[in-house]
Amino acid sequence: MPTPIIDSHIHLFPESHLRTLAWYGPGSPLGSQHSIDEYRLATASTPASPDSAQPLYLRGFIFLETDRISSVEEAGQGGWSLALDEVSFLTRIITGEPVPGEGHKDVDRELCLGIVPWAPVPGGPAALEKYMAQVKERTRTEEAHKKVRGVRYLVQDKPRGVMLESGFIEGLKWLGRQQLIFDLGVDARQGGIWQLREAAEMINKVYHGVEKKDRVKIIINHLCKPNLRLPFSSPDSIATHPDFLEWSSLVTAMAQHSSTYMKLSGGFSELLPLVAESEPDIASLVEQIRLWTDVVFDAFGPERVMFGSDWPVCNVGGGGNSVAWRRWKSVVEGILERRGLSQDQKEGVWGGVAVKAYGIEI
C-alpha cells in the first residue's frame, strides 16, 4: 500500500491578505497569492490519493501561521485582529466555503488536517485564554475548531530573553494543560546560536516540576535552521566546525525531553539557492546535510521526527513552485534511505509522527 504523506508545515495566504503580513514588502519573492491552488500545482508530482504505481501519496497538510502584523496586547499596534482573520480564512477552507479569489475550492477541505494559528504566548495564561476563546468564535463550527491543534509565536526575530520571561513560560504551561502544542521557530544561522541556547533553557523551565500528562508538546521547526552553508569538502570539515558542534549539543539537549519533536523541513532556506533550470544532485545534497540530519535522528529517534515542506518558503531557495516541493521530498527520501530506516519508521516520518504529535485524524 502507498504511504500517506502529511506535510506538517505549510503556509497559505491569499493575495488580498498580503499587506497584513509582517514580512511583506515590494519585491518580496513570496509577494503573490500562495493558496491551495498553488500548493496543488507544487505537489502535482505526488498523487493526492493512493496510487499503486507510486510509493507515496499526499494525504494532507498542517497549516502554520504566516506571521501577520500583530502584538501581544489585544489593543497594541496590530493587535489580534489580523491573526484572527487568518483563522477565518482557514475556517473557510475547512468548511468548504470559498470566497472568490482566495485560491481554494470546496473539494480542498479534506486536505487541511490541522491548523496552528498565531497566539500571544508572552502574554501568559490570561491573554491566551482570552485569545483562544476568540479563535473558537472564528472557527464557528466544531469541524473547524477541532482542527486547531496548537499555536505558534515566532521567536526567531524577537530580542534576547523573550523565551525566558515568566509570561512566556507560564503561557507554555497553560498550553500544556489545554492539550495544545507549541510550534517553536528559532534560527541558528541568521538569528544566532544564542537562540538555541535560550530555547534549551526555556524548555527545561517549562517542563520542570510539571507532570508528563500536562507537559506541552513542543514541535521544533526546520532543524532549528542550522548553518548548512558551511564550506563542505568532506564530513570532517563539518564535524569539527564550532557552529556544528554547538548546534549539535543544543539540539541533543532539547531532545532529552520526550515531549519535544523535530520537523525535517526548511533545508532549502539554509542551503545555497538552487535554480529551476537544472536539476540538483540529490545524492550530493543528502550527503552535504547528512551529519546534521544524523544528529536529529540520533537525538530524537525516528519516532519524533516528521516531514514538512515549509511551502511556499521552500520555493525561494529550492528553484520555484514547479520544482521545490518535489525536490525537498526527494532529499528526504534520500535521507531516510541513507539512515537505513525500516518501512514502519519511514511511514512514521512521512505522516505517522505528525498524527501522533498533533493529535490529528486522518
The residue among 222, 241, 221 whose CA lies nearest residue 231 is 241
Are the C-beta atoms of 181 and 217 separated by less than 8 Å? Answer: yes
- Which CATH code for domain 3-358? 3.20.20.140
Per-residue pLDDT of 164-201, as tens digits, reads 999 999 999 999 999 999 999 999 999 999 999 999 99
94 and 102 in contact (C-beta within 8 Å)? no
Average pLDDT (111-128) is: 98
User: Is 151:98 a contact under the CB 8 Å cutoff?
Assistant: no
57 φψ region: left (φ > 0), alpha (ψ -120 to 50), beta (else) = beta
pLDDT of residue 317 exceeding 90: yes
Closest CA to 72 of 116, 109, 144, 124: 124
In the Cβ-directed half-sphere of 240, how many Cα atoms lie within 13 Å?
4
pLDDT tens, residue by residue, 20-60? 999 999 899 999 999 999 999 999 999 999 988 899 999 99
Question: What is the phi/psi pair of residue 249, to 5°?
Answer: -65, -35
φ and ψ at residue 114, rounded to 5 degrees: -165, 155
Cα dihedral 287, 289, 291, 292 in deg (nearest 10): -160
Residue 343's pLDDT is what? 97
- pLDDT (mean) for 229-244: 90
Region 301-309: mean pLDDT is 98
pLDDT of residue 26: 84
Backbone angles phi, psi at 62, to 5 degrees: -115, 125
pLDDT confidence bin for 303, thresholds 50/70/90: very high
Burial class (CB in 10 A: 0-12, 13-18, 19+), 121: buried
Res 3 pLDDT > 90: yes
pLDDT value of position 234: 82
Rounded (10°) CA dihedral 91, 94, 100, 104: 130
pLDDT in tens, 70-106: 999 999 889 999 999 999 999 999 999 999 999 999 9
Tell me: the pLDDT tens digits for 241-260?
Answer: 999 999 999 999 999 999 99
Confidence of residue 278 (pLDDT cuts 50, 70, 90): very high
Joined together, the cell numbers standing for residue 279 give 536539476
Q: Are 62 and 358 in contact (CB under 8 A)?
A: yes
Which residue would you say has higher pLDDT here, 53 or 63? 63
Q: How is the chain split into domains, by residue range?
A: 3-358
CA within 13 Å, CB half, 269: 20
| pLDDT for residue 232 is more than 90 | no
Gyration radius (Cα) of the chain, Å:
19
Mean pLDDT of the chain: 97
254 vs 40: CA distance, rounded Å: 34
Count of beta carbons in the 10 Å neighbourhood of residue 213:
8
Give the pLDDT band of residue 311 (cuts 50, 70, 90). very high
